[in-house]
Chain A
């Protein structure tokens, strides 16, 4: 029963969200059936669509994990966007200049990208530890700094002279990651990271301390956790995951170079996924796939109907809000009913 209820809630909330969105589709003078049909057809309908959904989901899985691991530990890392961008930029630049056999270079580039993300998050960790600056605002501000700094690097020092927009040069073709039956290898890396995160959170003592810190920081301190070191570790790990997402997008995406706007909305999508997943590791994986499905289906939706693909951005936020609203609403309703029942017993 404990497992069934959240799943039912989720289904209820998603159905409700799609109904709300249907009203807006009707306002757009389109048929919701056609729109949702196209969404399904291009998101899940065939192996080709499904593999594309998995490919669209891999950065989301990683940024989602990044947010989940942080929020689970009570560390408000909202800097996924900036960490992602640094991961992507470092990977893209080194991918042009590094000369190594590809079996060595590809994993190295991915890890270096992750480390770049970790370093950027480490800056926030440094601020937090040295100056007690709240990571909530500092990671946010670092996002803007990362945005402008990477853009500067892609516009001046590492600009591809043949490009029309600020972009770095194409990485060496032998570093392109491939796929298995149309599914990018990066997806499997992300899948592996899901297990790694689960193992970290539930099977290591650092993970245990981190979770305790998320439940109650004071309790963790009194219980003997080194809260400062744990926060630093979580920020670094969380940054690594976001940076890895950026690096993998360069290695296994479609562009293979750093361009303006490559970060898209991956950072905030990750935050939304973590919120929907209630910071659970496997739930994060599930919701990231769901988001990937929406994003991938959106292309088909625009192709088949008159509804533009941007509609999915709106749909996502509606789903997030109705999901958390329904979940919290049901919880407070059951609490209220239980309180009333107990009161009834007492009064009688």
Chain B
């Protein structure tokens, strides 16, 4: 039994990471009052370019580099459309998600000559870290050890984001942009520029989520592999009203649920039903959020 719990928690931490990273990115947009729903696309693009860079140049660092670049480019397109040309943010987001899906599907075919998925032994995955001291602790060690390092980056990022958001000048300005843009403009700051930086941060974090998906969680790229994780992260952001540490905790809850499904498969529950769990959970979370709004 103990072994199963350890395995479950280990896997939960692992599948919570991409959701948490994307949600932390989207959080910046949330606070700047930009309705950014492009996390799904940015994540997918990041996942593709992570595999591309790592495979082409033989080192996972190139994968990270390419993924970050792709995230920045998408953030640039988002800013150009939504901030400069003033296209509806929702429409821009959907457009970017479609762009990422179309481009990665096309590139997969054009670059690697495969349909559906690109799998290769020679894609270097991101390294797994073994924590020197923690490893020795009986229960905790097994849960925390030998994860790809991005898992720890995500956990740390939650706290760093909290500090950035609530303790720095940038965070204050960003939140002010969301709450009272006129006040920000009145002290001579550019609202457009602050919104742009929020989009850039969203691009960076979502791309990292993508890197984790295609070089950490598994080592391959398949069509539409983000599979709704960006939307789940959006639901989490709305639910916890963009607070970084609760985002991390909620992501963990989702990760746990996703893997509870794997556990249920042992008892002959068809995989199609267990795969539904995160989405059902999102609906439930939405339900409890609506209930809370009603009572308060």
Chain A residues with a Cβ under 8 A of chain B:
28, 76, 127, 131-134, 137-138, 140-142, 144-145, 148-149, 151-152, 155-156, 265, 268, 271-272, 275, 307-308, 310-311, 313-318, 320-321, 324-325, 328-329, 332
Does chain A have a CB within 8 A of B235? yes
27 contacts between A and B (CB under 8 A): A76-B90, A131-B291, A133-B286, A137-B238, A138-B286, A140-B228, A144-B276, A148-B273, A151-B272, A155-B272, A268-B98, A272-B95, A275-B94, A275-B95, A310-B102, A310-B105, A311-B106, A313-B98, A314-B106, A315-B102, A316-B102, A324-B81, A324-B92, A324-B95, A325-B81, A325-B85, A332-B86
**A127–B85 CB distance below 8 A:** no
CA distance A127 to B290 in the complex (A): 10
Which residues of B have CB within 8 Å of A317? 95, 98-99, 101-103
Cβ of B101 and Cβ of A313 under 8 Å apart?
A: yes
B286 pairs with A325, CB closer than 8 A = no
Residues in A with CB closer than 8 Å to B275 are 148
In the assembled complex, the CB of B258 is this many whole angstroms from the nearest CB of chain A, namely 12
Q: Which B241-296 residues have a C-beta within 8 angstroms of A?
A: 270, 272-273, 275-276, 279-280, 282-283, 286-287, 290-291, 293-294
A145/B279 in contact, CB under 8 A: yes
Instruction: Give the residues from 75 to 123 in chain B that come closer than 8 angstroms, CB to CB, to chain A.
Output: 77, 80-81, 85-88, 90-92, 94-96, 98-99, 101-103, 105-106, 108-110
Q: Is the CB of A28 within 8 A of B110?
A: yes
Interface contact B231-A140, CB-CB below 8 Å: yes
Chain A residue, CB-CB nearest to B275: A148
Q: A308-B110, A317-B99 are in contact. List 12 more A-B contacts (CB 8 A).
A: A140-B228, A145-B280, A148-B272, A148-B276, A155-B272, A268-B94, A272-B94, A310-B102, A313-B98, A314-B103, A317-B98, A325-B81
B85 and A320 within 8 A (CB): no
In the complex the two chains form, what is the Cα distance from A313 to B235 in whole Å? 27
Closest 5 A-B residue pairs measured CB to CB?
A313-B102, A314-B102, A152-B272, A317-B99, A317-B98
Of A132, A152, A265, A307, the contact of B290 (CB 8 Å cutoff): A132
Query: What residue of chain B has the Cβ atom nearest to residue A320's Cβ?
Result: B95
- The chain B residue sitting closest to A144, CB to CB, is B279
Closest to A148 in B: B272
Q: Is the interface of A mostly helix, strand, loop or mixed?
A: helix
Q: Which of A148, A152, A332 has the most CB of B within 10 A?
A: A148
CA distance A148 to B261 in the complex (A): 13
Q: Is the CB of B85 within 8 A of A316?
A: no
Question: From DSSP, what is the main secondary structure of chain B's interface residues?
Answer: helix
Q: Known contacts A133-B290, A134-B286, A141-B279: does B85 contact A328 (CB below 8 Å)? A: yes
Bound complex: CA of A182 vs CA of B85, how far in Å?
43
User: Bound complex: CA of A231 vs CA of B279, how far in Å?
Assistant: 23
Contact A156-B270, Cβ < 8 Å, known A141-B279, A325-B85: yes
Whether A328 pairs with B110 at a CB distance below 8 angstroms is: no
Chain A residues near B235 (CB-CB < 8 A): 137, 141
**Does B64 reach chain A (CB closer than 8 Å)?**
no
B234 touches A (CB below 8 Å): yes
Which chain B residues lie closer than 8 Å to A271 at the CB level?
Answer: 94
CB contact under 8 A between A310 and B109, given known A132-B294, A138-B283, A138-B286: yes
Q: If A141-B279, A144-B228, A151-B272 touch, does A313 touch B234 (CB 8 Å cutoff)? A: no
Closest B-chain residue to A329, C-beta based? B85
Provide the bound-state CA to CA distance between A134 and B289, in Å. 10
CB distance from B260 to the nearest CB of A (A): 16
**Do A133 and B270 have beta carbons less than 8 Å apart?**
no
> B276 contacts which of A127, A145, A308 (Cβ < 8 Å)?
A145
- State how many angstroms separate the Cβ of B75 from the closest Cβ of chain A: 14
B103 contacts across to A, CB distance below 8 A: 314, 317
B80 contact set on A, CB distance < 8 A: 325
In the assembled complex, the Cα of A149 lies from the Cα of B228 at a distance in Å of 16
Q: How many angstroms from the CA of A131 to the CA of B99 in the assembled complex?
A: 34
Which A residues are in CB contact (< 8 Å) with B109? 308, 310
Pick the contact of B99 from A28, A141, A151, A321 — CB < 8 Å?
A: A321
Kindly state the separation between the CA atoms of A275 and B89 in the bound complex, as whole angstroms: 12
A156 to B271, CA, bound (A): 11
CA–CA, A23 and B178, complex, Å: 38
B85, A152: Cβ atoms closer than 8 Å: no
CB nearest neighbor in B for A156? B270
Q: In whole Å, how far is A298's beta carbon from the nearest beta carbon of chain B?
A: 11
Which residues of the partner chain B approach A314 to less than 8 Å between Cβ atoms? 99, 102-103, 105-106
- Residue contact A275 to B99, C-beta cutoff 8 Å: no
On whether the beta carbons of B81 and A321 are closer than 8 Å, the reply is: yes
Say yes or no: A320-B231 contact (C-beta < 8 A), given A132-B290, A133-B287.
no
Complex contacts, B106 vs chain A, CB 8 Å: 308, 310-311, 313-314
- A307 cross-chain contacts in B, Cβ below 8 A: 110
Tell me the bound Cα distance from A132 to B294 in angstroms: 9
Residue in B closest to A275 when the chains form the complex, CB atoms: B91
- The CA of A275 and the CA of B99, in the complex, are separated in Å by 14
CB-CB under 8 A from A315, the residues of chain B are 102
> How close is A315's CB to chain B, nearest CB, in angstroms?
8
